């Protein structure tokens, strides 16, 4: 990966494994040039937030005189987070996002800080970062402070997935403790890189889940022998929403070679007939979130910013994660509605009154065996959990920090909720896929469309038919992984 290129949401997933990052000469030059400007200005006696001053509402007081002490001031009072630890993949994605922000050459960090982040990403080291503590206003102060804390050899960290003291993890990874001055430390913590990482990872999965919803809707249409009129080009064009038309086109492409059975109602239930409108609208929200997070990943979230070319030090609020907070909340709602659709499609599939007589719960021996009954119960519970988490975080502003932070966006919480919802949706889709596989086993037709027949065979190869009741939890996880793989392979289905 090259620091001169654009950082995409999907790139964040690469950080779960050791990731080589290239620091081109022109990027190194602008980082060095900005750093020299910071040193010149700070040596002139000019007040610079976080370099010569205290932090937050204590900005009116002088900071520590020495750089190491100022670094301690920045980091240590933020080591108060709690809740479960972020998975190492998310913490590493946040480091990648922070690295790209610092590489823009507006933060005034030392070159060795950038090199240390690059070195860390090349190993299996990950800071141990509590999930709760950021209001997303002065950036993700507390979680990013834990990143800096671990890189300095304090607190805890992961190495090869094992939690241990950070000093030990650094040694096992072959990394040196990071030394910071006040500006370095503030630049590391004063941005929305955790928010951007969580939202970017949510967007990457949401893109796959959006395509999975199209695939499973097409597979259900084929297996049940439904008519295809609801995907009509003219019908969807008249609706006027391009993403809806695109979803209709994707479903039509999957269905090529399939013919209706002629045994279905003139108008299907909305969970089939309105699938293009619902999935397409969700796609619009996913696309919007992707645009927003891409801007976050390639912008500079810090304060102050330094402009050597004009000799300016500009204090402002680029650490205020309102765009990502709004986008994450909108994405959250879209993911919940995709979950509602999957739950209703499964409900239709297990109901003999709406499947032309397939057995209840798709059981080959109703009463003796229960087939999809447990899966449906889990699906219902999962949708309920998703709905409960759908309240927007971006309007929960609470003043804090002696009213220095008198409005806050809570983008970090919004982004983590969206990421959680994307994970839950995978299992709803997996349950529906297992249901479609079982439906064929108990009497529904095999898919007629060649593309769908191939997909069905891959699902059937992963999940044997339910002849007698058995645990399906492992099968759900494996099927979720398989669906992600399938839609990634056929991303160009449109």
**260 and 169 both lie in a single domain:** no
Question: CA-to-CA distance for 143 and 152, rounded, in angstroms?
Answer: 14
**4 part of a folded domain:** no
**2 part of a folded domain:** no
So what's the pLDDT on residue 411?
86
Question: Is the pLDDT assigned to residue 492 strictly greater than 70?
Answer: no
CA-closest candidate to residue 217, choices 482, 381, 455? 455
So what's the pLDDT on residue 491?
65
So what's the pLDDT on residue 121?
98
**171 and 205 both lie in a single domain:** no
**287 part of a folded domain:** yes
CA-closest candidate to residue 125, choices 98, 97, 155, 91? 91
**162 and 207 both lie in a single domain:** no
Mean pLDDT of 260-267: 92
Say what percent of the chain tops pLDDT 70: 98
Question: Is the pLDDT assigned to residue 8 strictly greater than 90?
Answer: yes
**138 and 234 both lie in a single domain:** no
Q: Give the number of other CB atoms < 10 A from CB of residue 20.
A: 10
Say what percent of the chain tops pLDDT 90: 82
Length in residues, the chain: 494
**470 part of a folded domain:** yes
Establish how many alpha carbons lie within 13 A of residue 431's alpha carbon, considering only the half-sphere containing its beta carbon.
Answer: 32
Identify the domain boundary among 191, 222, 251. 191
Q: Determine contact, residues 356/224, Cβ cutoff 8 Å.
A: yes
- pTM value? 0.95
Q: Are strands 156-159 and 130-132 parallel, antiparallel or unpaired?
A: unpaired
**70 part of a folded domain:** yes
CA-closest candidate to residue 11, choices 161, 299, 203, 283? 203
**312 and 181 both lie in a single domain:** no
Among this protein's residues, is 49 annotated catalytic? yes
So what's the pLDDT on residue 185?
92
CA 425 remoteness from chain centre: 12
Question: Is the pLDDT assigned to residue 256 strictly greater than 80?
Answer: yes
**212 and 155 both lie in a single domain:** no
Scanning the structure block, which residue is given the tokens 């609706």? 239
Identify the domain boundary among 136, 159, 191. 191
So what's the pLDDT on residue 407?
81
CATH of the domain at 69: 1.10.275.10
> What integer best gives the mean pLDDT of the chain?
93
So what's the pLDDT on residue 469?
95
**3 part of a folded domain:** no
Which of 47-56, 190-199, 225-234, 293-302 shows the lowest mean pLDDT across its residues?
47-56
Catalytic residue among 49, 146, 270, 427: 49
Retrieve residue 290's tokens.
């992707």
Identify the domain boundary among 159, 191, 223. 191
Mean pLDDT of 437-441: 98
CA 263 remoteness from chain centre: 42
**432 part of a folded domain:** yes
So what's the pLDDT on residue 133?
83
**183 and 222 both lie in a single domain:** no
Query: Residues near 228 by Cβ (< 8 Å), separated by ≥ 6?
Result: 221, 252, 255, 258, 260
Query: Residues near 145 by Cβ (< 8 Å), separated by ≥ 6?
Result: 74, 75, 76, 78, 79, 189
Scanning the structure block, which residue is given the tokens 């370095």? 184
Q: Are strands 312-314 and 82-85 parallel, antiparallel or unpaired?
A: unpaired
**398 and 299 both lie in a single domain:** yes
Range of the domain at 116: 9-191
Domains contained in the chain, number: 2
pLDDT in tens, 310-354: 999 999 888 889 999 999 999 999 999 999 999 999 999 999 999
Retrieve residue 341's tokens.
């659709």
**27 and 152 both lie in a single domain:** yes
Mean pLDDT of 396-402: 75
pLDDT in tens, 177-202: 999 998 999 999 999 999 999 999 99
Q: How confident is the model at residue 47 (pLDDT cuts 50, 70, 90)?
A: confident
So what's the pLDDT on residue 44?
82
CA distances from 411 to 155, 194, 457 (A): 25, 10, 41
**423 and 383 both lie in a single domain:** yes
Q: Determine contact, residues 73/55, Cβ cutoff 8 Å.
A: yes
pLDDT in tens, 87-119: 999 999 999 999 999 999 999 999 999 999 999
Question: Is the pLDDT assigned to residue 13 strictly greater than 90?
Answer: yes
**99 part of a folded domain:** yes
Query: Residues near 89 by Cβ (< 8 Å), separated by ≥ 6?
Result: 13, 15, 16, 126, 201
**203 and 181 both lie in a single domain:** no
CA-closest candidate to residue 175, choices 258, 119, 108, 259? 119
Cis check: omega of the bond before 304, within 30 degrees of 0: yes
Q: How confident is the model at residue 493 (pLDDT cuts 50, 70, 90)?
A: very low
So what's the pLDDT on residue 417?
96
The three state secondary structure string of the chain is CECCCCCCHHHHHHHHCCCCCECCHHHHHHHHHHHHHHHHHHHCCCCCCCCCECCHHHHHCECCCCHHHHHHHHHHCCCCCEEEECCHHHHHHHHHHHHHHHCCCCCCCCHHHHHHHHHHHCCCEEECCEEECCCCCCCCHHHHHHHHHHHCCCCEEEECCEEEEHHHHHHHHCCCCCCCCHHHHHHHHCCCHHHHHHHHHHHHHHHHHHHHHHHHHHHHHHHHCCCCHHHCHHHHHHHCCHHHHHHHHHHHHHCCCCCCCCCCCCCCCHHHHCHHHHHHHHHHHHHHHHHHHHHHHHCCCCCCEEECCCCEEECCCCCCCHHHHHHHHHHHHHHHHHHHHHHHHHHHHCCHHHCCCCCHHHCCCECCECCCHHHHHHHHHHHHHHHHCCCCCCCCCCCECCCCECCCCCHHHHHHHHHHHHHHHHHHHHHHHHHHHHHHHCCCCCCCCHHHHHHHHHHHHHCCCCCCCCCCHHHHHHHHHHHHHHHHHCHHHC
**145 and 264 both lie in a single domain:** no
CATH of the domain at 460: 1.20.200.10
Angle between helix axes 141-151 and 193-224 (nearest 10 degrees) is 110
């Amino acid at each position: 990966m090259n620091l001169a290129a654009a950082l995409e949401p999907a790139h964040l997933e690469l950080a779960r494994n050791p990731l080589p990052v290239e620091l081109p000469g022109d990027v190194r030059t602008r980082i060095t040039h900005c750093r020299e400007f910071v040193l010149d200005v700070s040596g002139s006696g000019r007040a610079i937030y976080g370099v010569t001053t205290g932090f937050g509402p204590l900005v009116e007081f002088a900071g520590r005189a020495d750089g190491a002490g100022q670094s301690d001031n920045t980091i240590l009072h933020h080591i108060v987070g709690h809740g479960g630890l972020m998975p190492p993949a998310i913490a590493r994605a946040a480091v990648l996002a922070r690295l790209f922000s610092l590489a823009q050459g507006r933060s005034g960090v030392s070159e060795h800080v950038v090199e240390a982040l690059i070195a860390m990403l090349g190993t299996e080291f990950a800071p141990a970062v509590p999930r709760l503590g950021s209001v997303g206003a002065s950036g993700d102060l507390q979680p990013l402070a834990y990143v800096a804390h671990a890189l300095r050899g304090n607190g805890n960290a992961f190495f090869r997935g094992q939690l241990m003291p950070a000093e030990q993890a650094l040694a096992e990874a072959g990394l040196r403790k990071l030394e910071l001055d006040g500006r370095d430390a503030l630049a590391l913590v004063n941005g929305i890189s955790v928010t951007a990482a969580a939202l970017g990872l949510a967007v990457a999965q949401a893109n796959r889940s959006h395509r999975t919803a199209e695939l499973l809707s097409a597979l259900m249409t084929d297996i049940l022998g439904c008519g295809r009129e609801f995907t009509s080009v003219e019908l969807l064009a008249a609706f006027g929403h391009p993403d809806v038309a695109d979803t209709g086109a994707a479903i039509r492409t999957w269905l090529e070679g399939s013919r209706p059975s002629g045994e279905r109602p003139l108008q299907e239930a909305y969970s089939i007939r309105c699938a293009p409108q619902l999935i397409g609208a969700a796609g619009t929200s996913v696309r919007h979130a992707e645009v927003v997070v891409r801007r976050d990943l390639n912008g500079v979230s810090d304060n102050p910013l330094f402009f050597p070319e004009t000799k300016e030090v500009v204090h402002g609020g680029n650490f205020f994660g309102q765009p990502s907070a709004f986008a994450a909340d909108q994405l959250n709602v879209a993911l919940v509605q995709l979950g509602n659709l999957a739950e209703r499609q499964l409900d239709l599939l297990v109901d003999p009154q709406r499947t032309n007589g397939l057995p209840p719960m798709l059981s080959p021996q109703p009463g003796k065996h229960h087939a999809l009954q447990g899966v449906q119960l889990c699906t219902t519970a999962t949708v309920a959990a998703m709905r409960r988490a759908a309240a927007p975080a971006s309007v929960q502003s609470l003043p804090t920090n002696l009213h220095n932070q008198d409005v806050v966006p809570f983008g970090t919480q919004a982004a983590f909720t969206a990421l959680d919802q994307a994970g839950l949706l995978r299992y709803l889709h997996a349950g529906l896929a297992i249901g479609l596989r079982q439906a064929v086993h108990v009497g529904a037709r095999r898919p007629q469309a060649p593309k769908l027949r191939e997909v069905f065979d891959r699902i059937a190869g992963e999940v044997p038919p339910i002849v007698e009741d058995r645990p399906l939890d492992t099968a759900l996880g494996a099927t979720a992984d398989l669906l992600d793989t399938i839609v990634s392979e056929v991303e160009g289905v449109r």
